[in-house]
Copies of this chain bind each other. A is one copy, B any other.
Amino acid sequence: MRTVLIIDDHHLIRTGIKNLLNSFSQELTFLEASTLSQGMDILARESKIDLLLMDLMLPDADDFEGIKSIKKLRPEIALAVVSAHETRDIIRNVIENGADGFIPKTADAEVFKSAVALMLEGEVYLPRSYYQPSDEPEIETASNPIDNLTKRQLDVFKLMCIGYSNKEIGQQLELSESTIKTHISAILRHYRTNSRAKAIVQFQQLHLP
């Protein structure tokens, strides 16, 4: 008997996953949480958990930080993110933060079952779209999301991405507006754009840590 913990704030998703997996194996029991903190409580309390399926964008979570803190608490549990957002950057971040798999919510039943079966065996599952980038074969190599940004640039970037002006960012970080401009220029150059609006839109769905 294996135990699966599902962390998702949507009741429908939780029951959807349960029913789907029940139809594939009677050997599963389920625990459910609708927030990260509920999930952490369960993880601290329940010793026997074999697989954790979690959403990104939980109401109380810092997404990638959530993955990190779970893996810190219980590194032995296989952790898969089940998410509606399946860009390569998000998937890469999910994995780099310690997850063992990524299942798109759009995955059909058979794929979903196989992926879960794999992960229960300690394997890793990533969707085809991660290995086969849609159109061009790797033009990027530099225009990545969070990585390659320095610590300070990330600080600035996060505040920019929640709509702060340069002045506001400067006040928040106790730096001069000039310094913020320097950082913003570096960030935009890094992402190969020259408008903060485009940068925000490009990376807003990542819900940065």
Contact = CB atoms under 8 A, between A and B. Distances in A.
A163 B109 contact: no
Interface stretch (A38-46, A121-129, A191-199): A191-199
Number of copies of this protein chain within its complex: 2
B163 A195 contact: yes
A138 to B, nearest CB: 23
A181 to B, nearest CB: 15
B161 A201 contact: yes
Residue among A17, A112, A196, A200 with the highest chain B CB neighbour number at 10 A: A200
Contact of A19 (B19, B160, B197): B19
A92 interface: no
A15 B13 contact: no
Contact of A160 (B105, B164, B197): B197
Interface of A: 9-17, 19-20, 34, 82, 84, 105-109, 112, 160-165, 195-198, 200-202, 204-205
The 6 closest A-B pairs by CB, nearest first: A16-B16, A163-B198, A163-B201, A12-B16, A19-B19, A10-B105
